[in-house]
Chains A and B, each alone.
Chain A
């Protein structure tokens, strides 16, 4: 049990809508990363936040954005949803320095 929680568990949206996913943190974890995992694939890195600023991004367009709050919780926002955005979205928390990352249970997003 990592203590990392994500909400909601499942979500259904239609193409073109916007969505916000949430991740809550254990105290002391100062980095949060978000990953997208399509069915049958490994997770793909979206971005990482450290001290409330984005400090790394994978190959995802600007309509994927995020926030990290002073209480270490985090949000992933996706605008103009596309069918290919249907996936399991995972957040991972850790300490700056590249040690073990602790993953949440994920949010399953379905875009119709």
Chain B
């Protein structure tokens, strides 16, 4: 059974810092990995999706890497801003693809950027 762990559970940093969020998964047979953002009481916004054959994806100040063999992914946020404050969730899709097994999520990292 796939398990996803996110470290740290919570993080508070001053505005402007670069930061790294970590995600690990136990079964390396994945189809893809996604990073989501969730604001309090809201739904999920997809930030980056990395296919199993890819090593990284970038969008603006965000960069996500994937090391499938070691079961790890990182989300790098450059020049953090107060608007980045949210919970960041990592999720993997099993290698059968198609979504029929559903995404397996970590518990998230609760990020606070201090002005």
User: Interface of A with B (CB < 8 Å)?
Assistant: 4, 6, 31, 33, 35, 40-48, 50, 55-56, 58, 88, 90, 92, 94, 96-106, 108
- Chain B residues 64-99 with CB under 8 Å of chain A are 89, 91, 93, 97-99
Q: List 8 A-B contacts (CB under 8 A).
A: A33-B102, A42-B4, A42-B107, A43-B89, A55-B98, A56-B98, A100-B46, A103-B36
For residue B91, which residues in chain A have a CB less than 8 angstroms away from its CB? 42-43
Q: Is the CB of A106 within 8 A of B101?
A: no
Given contacts A43-B103, A90-B44, 8 further A-B contacts (CB under 8 A): A45-B101, A56-B99, A90-B43, A96-B98, A98-B31, A101-B99, A103-B36, A106-B43
Chain B contact-residue range equals: 20 to 34
Interface SS of chain B: strand
Interface SS of chain A: strand
- Chain B residues 42-76 with CB under 8 Å of chain A are 42-46, 49
